């Protein structure tokens, strides 16, 4: 069923509509949340509250409410870009009387009353395509937010998850007339601190004896460069540039745990993420560690997936 059919049929039975993303939101999480908000307003006159942690570099796309400030007792919740309920930006959402899950990750937790789960390039692509198929009006604000989600979650349309449908959806969004070069410029711009961090990444990343590229970003480094969680993740773009090393893993201090982000070039490594309590896509996934002492165990586990020369 089209996600907007569910919204049309069910949302009117509740006093509020709340759109939620996942913890440490990325461009797709923010883009799909705000893009959906604009679509609901422009086509149905519905005012939805978007709940997520703030990511400053995406402030230009719109505004949202911080977690912990929403009453879910009579809410129709639309949870986007989130594979498991425990990674929600606002975990109490699970007590809402109605939940629509829209997600593009591997299916491991169908926590919604209704579940729209499609393994495609981004959650923004799902929402945009469903809007197109439904014949909805896609205004410039919605198109810009959804395009931002698509372009960031596909590595500028360079990842294996991209197919011809992805480009057709992107082309339709561009037809709205939003300023695409300005959008890309806003996404790509770097602060002087961020440039300094890239220098640190190139000089500090390591290659294990088994060929895995890895980096641990400790709290003192985060403080030195004034990094937000999404800025820390930009190290992965540097790590992917190392020829002949198709598996990369980034470790970073975050909220008393070690955040782990896995990437690979067409090598299915999600089982390693699951082994350490995480999950995600086959080639892009994540986990959490309790201690830096576990880092060698993760790297060793990934080495078993390296191609044999």
pTM of the predicted structure, to 2 decimals = 0.84
In the prediction, which pLDDT does 194 show? 82
pLDDT tens digits, one per residue of 229-282:
888 988 998 998 899 999 999 999 988 899 999 999 889 999 999 999 888 888
Which of residues 237 and 151 earns the better pLDDT score? 151
Sign of the Cα torsion 32, 34, 39, 40 reads positive
Percent of the chain with pLDDT over 90: 82
Rounded to the nearest integer, the mean pLDDT of the chain is 94
Which residues share a beta bridge with 98? 76
* pLDDT interval class at 309 (50, 70, 90): low
Tokens of 255: 């909220």
In the prediction, which pLDDT does 189 show? 78
Query: Domains of the chain, with CATH numbers?
Result: 3-187 (3.90.1640.10), 194-303 (3.10.310.30)
């Amino acid at each position: 069923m089209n996600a907007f059919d569910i919204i049309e049929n069910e949302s009117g039975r509740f006093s509020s509509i709340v759109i939620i993303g996942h913890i440490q939101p990325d461009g797709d999480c923010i883009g799909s949340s705000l893009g959906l908000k604009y679509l609901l307003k422009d086509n149905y006159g519905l005012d939805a509250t978007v709940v997520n942690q703030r990511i400053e570099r995406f402030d230009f796309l719109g505004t949202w409410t911080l977690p912990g400030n929403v009453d879910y007792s009579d809410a129709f919740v639309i949870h986007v870009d989130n594979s498991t309920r425990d990674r929600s930006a606002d975990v109490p959402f699970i007590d809402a009387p109605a939940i629509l899950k829209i997600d593009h990750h591997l299916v491991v937790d169908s926590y919604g009353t209704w579940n729209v789960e499609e393994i495609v390039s981004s959650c923004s692509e799902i929402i945009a395509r469903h809007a197109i198929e439904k014949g909805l009006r896609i205004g410039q604000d919605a198109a810009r937010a959804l395009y931002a989600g698509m372009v960031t979650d596909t590595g500028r349309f360079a990842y294996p998850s991209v197919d011809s449908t992805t480009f057709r959806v992107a082309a339709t969004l561009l037809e709205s007339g939003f300023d695409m070069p300005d959008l890309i410029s806003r996404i790509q711009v770097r602060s002087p601190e961020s440039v300094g961090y890239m220098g640190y990444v190139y000089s500090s990343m390591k290659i294990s004896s088994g060929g895995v590229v890895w980096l641990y970003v400790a709290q003192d480094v985060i403080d030195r460069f004034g990094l937000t969680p999404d800025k820390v993740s930009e190290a992965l773009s540097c790590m992917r540039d190392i020829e002949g090393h198709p598996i990369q893993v980034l470790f970073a201090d975050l909220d008393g745990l070690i955040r782990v982000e896995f990437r690979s070039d067409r090598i299915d490594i999600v089982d390693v993420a699951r082994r350490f309590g995480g999950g995600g896509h086959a080639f892009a996934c994540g986990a959490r560690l309790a201690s830096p002492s576990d880092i060698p165990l993760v790297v060793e586990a990934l080495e078993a997936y390296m191609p044999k020369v």
